[in-house]
Structure 1
Amino acid sequence: MTYDYLPGTDIYLHQRKDMFRMNTDTALLGYFMKVKENECVMDIGTNNGALLLYASMYTQGKLIGVDVQKEACELAQMNLNEHHIRDFEIIHADIKDVIHDPVDVIVCNPPYFRVTNDKQLNVSDYKRIARHECYLTLDILCTSVNRLLKEKGRFYLVHRADRLVDICVEMRKNELEIKTLQFIRDCENDSAHGVLIEAVKQGNSHCKVMEEKIVQR
């Protein structure tokens, strides 16, 4: 176990060395999402609760974390308790099985990679679930967001830039209209490797592309 700070904040959290750990994408999504005071926020695949801690800087509303891994839920519970956050709920379940009143905001740093070959999968169960679409495929994610998000609610996602077409297709199928795009590029590369997305449930068709975010090494 390590005790690390959320980039750009004075908030610390516990992380397990054998599980998925927050990275640059976590921090970028934490600052990209827009949360208003008293809005209810759900984090799908919450892991250690890092994105809920980012959300706690913006809202006094209820924070809800969902994860299929029991150990991740216990870690998120510990981190939120340590920061004396009172109005929160950590749900140990597959998102397909979660029944909840619609929320204002959903945020997700999902597994990025399709499962096309078992040899590609990470040996660790914890990291395999976090990085590969074993449980949370794009279609399951977008279907779940549509079901759990209020009308005109906002969905914030970070993903691989090379999956953008798949993301657009699944979002349109599920009444999620992309409103803001921001590509992420490593300073040493010429092309974007990631993308930040804001979508609105049953929103109008209008998308703003922001200046790309360049990650310094």
Structure 2
Amino acid sequence: MVQLVEDERLDYLLAENLRIIQSPSVFSFSLDAVLLARFAYVPIQKGAILDLCTGNGIIPLLLSTRTKGTITGVEIQERLANMAQRSFAYNNLDDRLKVLHQDIKEIPAMLGHGKFDVVTCNPPYFLVPEKEEKINANIHYAIARHEIHCTLEDVVRVSSQMVKQGGKAAFVHRPGRFLDIVTLMRKYRLEPKRIQFVHSRVDKPANTLLIEGIKDGNPDMKILPPLIVYDEKGEYSPEVRNMLYGENE
């Protein structure tokens, strides 16, 4: 059994046959997390994976079905970190999955550099606006969406510090920050190797960017075919249906 607090609910991750604790007033994961969890490379049999800005632990849960390695999430918000840990325990995964209630900027000094084979991160997408009223009044959502506690540079720098030589780091972000993220990855020795743009519909501009780099890798970037979320009927495309529900047709 799991202890739910206030307005929490226990949702299904259908494709993975897992459950996750969510709360509409604190945090609910988005498709972006699912896209990153499917895009990122993970070692199958063993290895150590770090997920920065883990929220309620959605990416570690999704990755747990693709690897037998250990996965550590890092989350600055105590409520979310607690939700993640309870979800890990409910799914009997707390022997491989754990969460640290920490600021990601403290992790290199805390755990040491170069400890992980893979680092993933679904970071806050938006700069902090000059006018405070433009930030969500719900502090949980504000922290998740805006660079209040960590910037894109913080995310890339810490990822580079934590990943092993030759290890991989994968991020999801907005295409508008494409040049920023590529510039920062190269600054911190994460050579971009794979990029995929995600479009809501085939005739719409990309609204999501997936990118993976290798620590001190050789320059050779591959742009993967675009991923389309909705078909012409407004329904999930086969690729996305498979990600969400495990449907292959």
What TM-score, normalized by structure 2, do the two folds share? 0.84
Residue aligning to 2:243: none
User: Contact (CA 8 Å) 2:27, 2:80: kept in 1 or not?
Assistant: no
Residue aligning to 2:181: 167
- Aligned identity (percent) is 32
CA distance in 2, matches of 1:53, 1:89: 10
What is the aligned counterpart of 1:215 among 203, 220, 229? 229
Identify unmatched segments of 5+ residues in structure 2: 1-7, 235-249
Tell me if 1:95 matches 2:95.
no
CA distance in 2, matches of 1:116, 1:127: 14
Tell me if 1:49 matches 2:57.
yes
Q: Which amino acid aligns with 1:134?
A: I
User: Contact (CA 8 Å) 1:178, 1:198: kept in 2 or not?
Assistant: yes
Q: Provide the secondary structure at the position in 2 that maps to 1:13.
A: strand
Tell me if 1:27 matches 2:41.
no
Identify unmatched segments of 5+ residues in structure 1: none
Tell me if 1:62 matches 2:76.
no
Moved more, 77-86 or 9-18: 9-18
CA distance in 1, matches of 2:171, 2:12: 22
Tell me if 1:153 matches 2:167.
yes
Q: Provide the secondary structure at the position in 1 that maps to 2:17.
A: coil
Structure 1 segments, 4+ long, off by >3 Å, are none
CA distance in 1, matches of 2:133, 2:218: 42
User: Contact (CA 8 Å) 1:41, 1:55: kept in 2 or not?
Assistant: no
Alpha-carbon RMSD across the aligned residues, in angstroms, is 1.3
Moved more, 174-183 or 32-41: 32-41
Moved more, 203-212 or 91-100: 91-100
CA distance in 1, matches of 2:31, 2:105: 28
CA distance in 1, matches of 2:204, 2:98: 42
CA distance in 2, matches of 1:169, 1:130: 23
What TM-score, normalized by structure 1, do the two folds share? 0.96
Q: Residue deviations 1:123-148, cap 9 Å, x none?
A: 11100000001012011111111111
CA distance in 1, matches of 2:105, 2:96: 23
Tell me if 1:121 matches 2:129.
no
Residues 108 and 145 from structure 1, CA distance in 2 versus in 1: closer, same or farther, beyond 3 angstroms?
A: same
User: Contact (CA 8 Å) 1:44, 1:95: kept in 2 or not?
Assistant: yes
Residue aligning to 2:245: none
Tell me if 1:202 matches 2:216.
yes
Tell me if 1:13 matches 2:20.
yes
Residue aligning to 1:143: 157
Q: Provide the secondary structure at the position in 1 that maps to 2:120.
A: strand
The structure with the largest alpha-carbon Rg is 2
Residues 20 and 189 from structure 1, CA distance in 2 versus in 1: closer, same or farther, beyond 3 angstroms?
A: farther
CA distance in 2, matches of 1:166, 1:30: 22
Pairs aligned (count): 217
Q: Provide the secondary structure at the position in 2 that maps to 1:150.
A: strand
Residue aligning to 2:240: none
CA distance in 2, matches of 1:124, 1:169: 32
